[in-house]
Amino acid sequence: MAEQPGTLLYYLKRSTEFLEKKEIPNPRVDAEWILSDLLNLPRIKLYSQFEMPLGQKEIDTYRERIVERSKRKPVAYITGKKGFHKFEYLVTENVLIPRPETEELVDYLWKRKEELSFTEPSPLQIWDLCSGSGCIGLSLTQLLPTSVVTLSDLSEKAIDVSRRNAEKYNLTDKTSFYVSDLDLALPDGLEFDLVVSNPPYIPESEKPEIMPDVLDYEPHLALFVSDFKEFHKRLLDAISKRLKPGGKLMLETHPLYSKDLEEMAKTMGFVDTKIVLDSSKKERFLFAKKL
The response to whether 108 counts as a known ligand-binding position is no
The response to whether 5 counts as a known ligand-binding position is no
Strand 147-153 and strand 175-179: pairing? Answer: parallel
Q: What is Dmax (Cα atoms) for the chain?
A: 67
Q: How far apart are CA 51 and CA 49, in angstroms?
A: 6
Asked if residue 30 lies in contact with residue 24, where contact means CB atoms within 8 angstroms, the answer is yes
Provide Rg for the chain, Cα atoms: 21
Q: How far apart are CA 211 and CA 109, in angstroms?
A: 30
- What size, in residues, is the chain? 291
The response to whether 199 counts as a known ligand-binding position is yes
Q: How far apart are CA 207 and CA 84, in angstroms?
A: 26
**Cα dihedral 191/139/108/152 (nearest 10):** -40
**Angle 198-107-78 from CA coordinates, rounded to 5°:** 60
209 burial via Cβ count (<10 Å: 0-12, 13-18, 19+): exposed
Positions at the binding site: 153, 198-201
Positions at the binding site for S-adenosyl-L-methionine: 153, 198
Positions at the binding site for substrate: 198-201
